[in-house]
Amino acid sequence: MRAALLCLLLCCGVLAAPVPERALQYLPMLRSLSAEILPDVQPALFAGQVEQETCPSLTSSKCWNPHAELKTAREYGFGLGQLTVTSRFNAFTDVRKLDRQLAGWQWHDRYDATSQLRALLVMDRACRRYAAGAAGEDADAMMLACYNGGGGGLVSDRALCRATPGCDPDRWWANVERTSNKSRKRWQGYGMSAFDINRAYPHNIIRVRSAKYEEAMRGDP
């Protein structure tokens, strides 16, 4: 009986995971910036994205923390959007070329939360162009896959889908989602392959993480 009641409560959202406490500090800013930069996308999506980038768990000290960092032999990432620097590319340098308000952002000030959130949204906006032809949740998923794996990767994945019988390059779920040249071999230290990481990224944000922010992100910024 208790198990059935618990299941009912979960299904109805009564026991939905709470919004992380630190998130409450940044949600108004994120809502305002999203209305400016990507007004046609539900702002809760971006809150789910920040959670995906920074929260190993909802109680982690890294969760929604502008000082959150990832350091591995492969990459360095920082902040609410985990801007990534590797030997091959530097997202911090690149994003400053995409937006006039970020042009003066300096490395020593990289932990500034407003700049971090603006950078995340500006990169999402750039990725949205690679999702041309897709709509709704499919476009959202492609945008997120691009943020995680790069625009070139999404172009390649859509081209492979286009060349695959029965695959629609304008649909993500069960279509482009399944076609990729990304490695299926697990990366050392990550426990997942490049393909698995990239495909889990939009799924986790759209299907798992974003819903808890919908109420908090409603209303005028």
Supply the pLDDT for residue 7. Answer: 41
Range of the domain at 171: 20-213
Supply the pLDDT for residue 1. Answer: 37
Examine residue 4 and state whether it is found in any structural domain, yes or no: no
Examine residue 89 and state whether it is found in any structural domain, yes or no: yes
Rounded average pLDDT over 34-52 = 98
Q: Yes or no: say if 173 and 161 are a contact pair by the CB < 8 Å rule.
A: no
pTM for the full predicted model: 0.90
Examine residue 118 and state whether it is found in any structural domain, yes or no: yes
**Which segment of 157-161, 191-195, 211-215 scores lowest on mean pLDDT?**
191-195
User: Across-strand partners of 77?
Assistant: 70, 84
Examine residue 6 and state whether it is found in any structural domain, yes or no: no
How far from each other are the two terminal CA atoms of the chain, in whole angstroms? Answer: 43
Examine residue 99 and state whether it is found in any structural domain, yes or no: yes
Examine residue 207 and state whether it is found in any structural domain, yes or no: yes
CATH for 70: 1.10.530.10
Rounded average pLDDT over 10-30 = 78
Q: Greatest CA separation found in the chain? A: 60
Higher-confidence residue of 77 and 73: namely: 77
User: How many distinct structural domains can be found in the chain?
Assistant: 1
Examine residue 11 and state whether it is found in any structural domain, yes or no: no
